[in-house]
Amino acid sequence: MAAELTINKSLTANGTIKVDDKIVMSLFTELSTSANGTDRVTQSIQDKETYNKNQKRKSVPRLLPSRKQYGICRIPWKRQTAQQGRIPQMKLRNSQIISFLNTYAAIKTKKLPVKLGYAIKKNVSAVTAASEAYSAERNELLKHYAQKGENGQFLVNDGCYVIPDQEGYAKDIEELLNIETEAEIQTVSLDVLEKCDDPRFDPLTIEELTALEFMTE
Q: Cα separation of 177 and 37, whole Å? A: 15
Question: Across all residues in the chain, what is the average pLDDT?
Answer: 77
pLDDT 10s digits, 197-208: 999 999 999 889
Exposure of 190 in the CB half-sphere (CA atoms within 13 A): 6
Q: Cα separation of 141 and 49, whole Å? A: 41
Q: What is the mean pLDDT of residues 13-29?
A: 66
Q: pTM for the full model?
A: 0.61
pLDDT at residue 72 in the model: 37
pLDDT 10s digits, 134-154: 999 999 999 999 999 889 888
pLDDT 10s digits, 149-171: 889 888 988 888 899 999 999 99
Number of H helices, E strands in the chain: 6, 8
pLDDT at residue 54 in the model: 62
Write down the domain spans for the chain.
10-215
Instruction: Looking at 31-113, list the stretches that DSSP marks H as alpha helix, in order from N- to C-terminal side.
Output: 48-53, 94-107
CB 38 within 8 Å of CB 177: no
Exposure of 54 in the CB half-sphere (CA atoms within 13 A): 18
Min mean pLDDT across 14-23, 35-44, 65-74 is at: 65-74
CB atoms closer than 10 angstroms to residue 184? 16
Provide CB contacts within 8 A for 78, sequence distance 6+: 90, 91, 180
- Answer yes or no: is pLDDT of 99 > 60: yes
pLDDT at residue 152 in the model: 85
Query: Any idea what DSSP says for residue 106?
Result: H
SS3 45: strand
pLDDT at residue 65 in the model: 35
